[in-house]
Amino acid sequence: MLPAVRNDGHPYQDPARSVDERVEDLLARMTLEEKAGLLFHTVLPMHPDGRPVQGGEEAFVPADTTGAIRTKLMSHFNLFGTAGPRQTAQWHNTVQELAAGTRLGIPVTVSTDPRHSFTTNLGASMSAGAFSAWPEPTGLAAVRDPELVYRFADIARREYLAVGLRVALHPQIDLATEPRWSRQSATFGADAALTSELVKAYILGFQGESLGAESVATMVKHFPGGGPQKDGEDPHFAHGKEQIYPGGMREYHLEPFKAAIAAGASQMMPYYGQPVGTDWEEVGFGFNHGVVTGLLREQLGFEGIVCTDWGLLTDHEIFGEVHQARAWGVEHLTVAERTAKALDAGADQFGGEECPEVVIELVRSGRIAEERIDVSVRRLLREKFVLGLFDQPYVDPESAEEIVGSDEFRAAGESAQRRSLTVLVNRDRTLPVSMPRPKLYVDGIDAAVAARYGDVVGDPAEADLAVLRLHTPYELRENRFEALFHSGRLDFTEAELRPVLRLLESVATVVFLHLERAAVVPEIAERCAALVADYGASDEALLDVAFARARAEGRLPFELPRSMAAVEKSRPDVPHDTADPLFAYGAGLDL
């Protein structure tokens, strides 16, 4: 049974009134402290059994759930961590009960990073767990089918709703024009036209024709396009803060965001990057008035919520190490000055922060007018009302168990995994494998899974065929958090390559290559019997395609460069810009 919905007779709790009337009634009742709490959207973890994390408890991410809601009066949280559907739903209801106990009973809005694929980067997303498992967005792009993207988004919406997740911190529609950038697996690739087409289907699947009680709001990121990072480094870190446009393609990177706005995107997240060498102020986009107000609001007409990327104001401890605020270009400012600059720029909300006292002091000192705070509070309250959170904030844990990861949803995700696979090399028609029970040598593939398709042997010399699974190379960074963001070189070192080539020369080998980024693999492509790219797929999905139990339809969503020298000479804002690529954008073979 769901908890009772609180209703103490205030007009803002009357669903018969218009949303605007309810917003204005509630706004008039709010104290400055209650308004300030609304402007912060921070990470909130849960225990695996669904209990909220409280102050002083040991957790992967420290937090004080009760204090954040009851003392700091916050009501927007980014859920971190995974649990079963029932446990997640119970956590959500507990958090809503805490919120119902505040003076005005403003319900909590819970958001999440992507949760439907195979990622290992906890800094940007989480693996599927109990949810249906799909390829990364690059895999959806490889299929080039808006109907598939809509199907994914609609299923993800239903799974999110079941456990109380009401804001998707995605889609990420940056263009993967810099092959080394660590975030490109969450994009739709390098092509602006394809990304623009797919983001419409994505938003429609999550939000519907208009935002409502059955919607999950989308927070589109990272405005105005985070792909053109200098040297492919990521602006989570100071050495990656510069965003550059040597090819003059700034407008190209804006095209998907124009499509997202036209599709009704509810929220927008500016990136950390600091533009260099443009007519924009050289400060991070979250502090950039010319970008947020001038471009996004005034020129493009966006009227929704603008939430900064996480951690722009204060330093944070991550994995026991202190990471400085991503206040690029305004590092010299105090926390209060940074906050004021972001508000002046047009931001409504601060991601990953929980310091409402700073906003309170800015208003009381006269630096920021309370009327300016009201502008953002109206937007934030309006979305809560439109999403129906005031009318029914709770979810049903029993229904969550039935909906999340249902057989239907899992089957749809598994089908998408298979469709997304991209065949790049197929010498002598190695694929599909025609032998009914070949002797298989496997590396990187679960031997128990492979045994369903052939007889697994321990020596390549005994094998009819080898199956090798590889991942895009990267440079291991010493910092634990940065190590999650696979960056740097895209080619294997000589030591890494040697055993691979030895295997390819000893037996016909099918190589499956997980493309987190645009791998540089000319030696492997020249020697393998077959090369198939994946963007997040199970071993079963790979072998089903190899043995003709499923059909691969994918085409590359970005080119694969021939060498690191070509990558280094390419322009980070220009798509398909490496000289003589090993495989061009759109490459892929039919079996």
- DSSP letters along 112-172, please? E---SB----TTT--B-TTSPP---HHHHHHHT-HHHHHHHHHHHHHHHHHHTEEEE---B
The Cα–Cα gap between 545 and 103 comes to: 58
DSSP state string for 209-246 = SS--TT--EEEEEEET-S--BGGG--TTSGGG-EE--T
The confidence score (pLDDT) of residue 60 equals: 64
Residue 117 has pLDDT above 90, yes or no: no
Average pLDDT over every residue of 208-235: 96
DSSP state string for 453-499 = TSEE-S-GGG-SEEEEEEE---BPPSSTTGGGS-BS--B--HHHHHH
Average pLDDT over every residue of 9-30: 92
Residue 57 has pLDDT above 70, yes or no: yes
Beta bridge partners, 316, equal 323
Contact 101, 70 (CB under 8 A): yes
Average pLDDT over every residue of 326-352: 98
Mean pLDDT, all residues of the chain = 94
Contact 117, 135 (CB under 8 A): yes
- Vertex 587: Cα angle to 420 and 200 (nearest 5): 55
Indicate the helix (H) or strand (E) that contains 358.
helix 356-364
Beta bridge partners, 551, equal none
Tokens of 509: 């080998």
Catalytic residue among 234, 309, 539, 544: 309
Confidence band, pLDDT 50/70/90 cuts, at residue 151: very high
- Quick check: is 309 catalytic? yes
Residues 6+ apart with CB under 8 A from 241: 235, 272, 273, 274, 284, 326, 328, 329
Nearest Cα neighbor of 421 from 546, 547, 560 is 546
Beta bridge partners, 46, equal 52
The Cα–Cα gap between 535 and 138 comes to: 6
Backbone phi and psi for residue 336, each to the nearest 5 degrees, phi listed first: -65, -40
The confidence score (pLDDT) of residue 484 equals: 81
Q: What percent of the chain has pLDDT over 70?
A: 96
The confidence score (pLDDT) of residue 7 equals: 59
The confidence score (pLDDT) of residue 481 equals: 77
The Cα–Cα gap between 517 and 528 comes to: 20
The confidence score (pLDDT) of residue 82 equals: 86
Q: pLDDT tens-digit profile of 284-306?
A: 999 999 999 999 999 999 999 99
The confidence score (pLDDT) of residue 321 equals: 76
Q: pLDDT tens-digit profile of 384-416?
A: 999 999 999 999 999 999 999 999 999 999 999
The confidence score (pLDDT) of residue 317 equals: 76
The DSSP 8-state label assigned to residue 575 in this structure reads T
Confidence band, pLDDT 50/70/90 cuts, at residue 81: confident
The confidence score (pLDDT) of residue 167 equals: 98
List Cα–Cα distances, 283 to 174, 272, 305, in angstroms.
19, 9, 21
Single pTM value for the model: 0.95
Backbone phi and psi for residue 388, each to the nearest 5 degrees, phi listed first: 80, 15
Residue 128 has pLDDT above 80, yes or no: no
Confidence band, pLDDT 50/70/90 cuts, at residue 9: low
Residue 136 has pLDDT above 90, yes or no: yes
The residue that leads in pLDDT, 59 or 554, is 554
Side-chain half-sphere CA neighbours of 49 within 13 A: 1
Confidence band, pLDDT 50/70/90 cuts, at residue 479: confident
Confidence band, pLDDT 50/70/90 cuts, at residue 1: low
Nearest Cα neighbor of 206 from 152, 163, 144 is 152
The confidence score (pLDDT) of residue 521 equals: 98
Backbone phi and psi for residue 217, each to the nearest 5 degrees, phi listed first: -70, 145
Single-letter amino acid code for the residue at 354: E
Confidence band, pLDDT 50/70/90 cuts, at residue 417: very high
List Cα–Cα distances, 252 to 37, 300, 574, in angstroms.
37, 14, 9
The confidence score (pLDDT) of residue 540 equals: 97
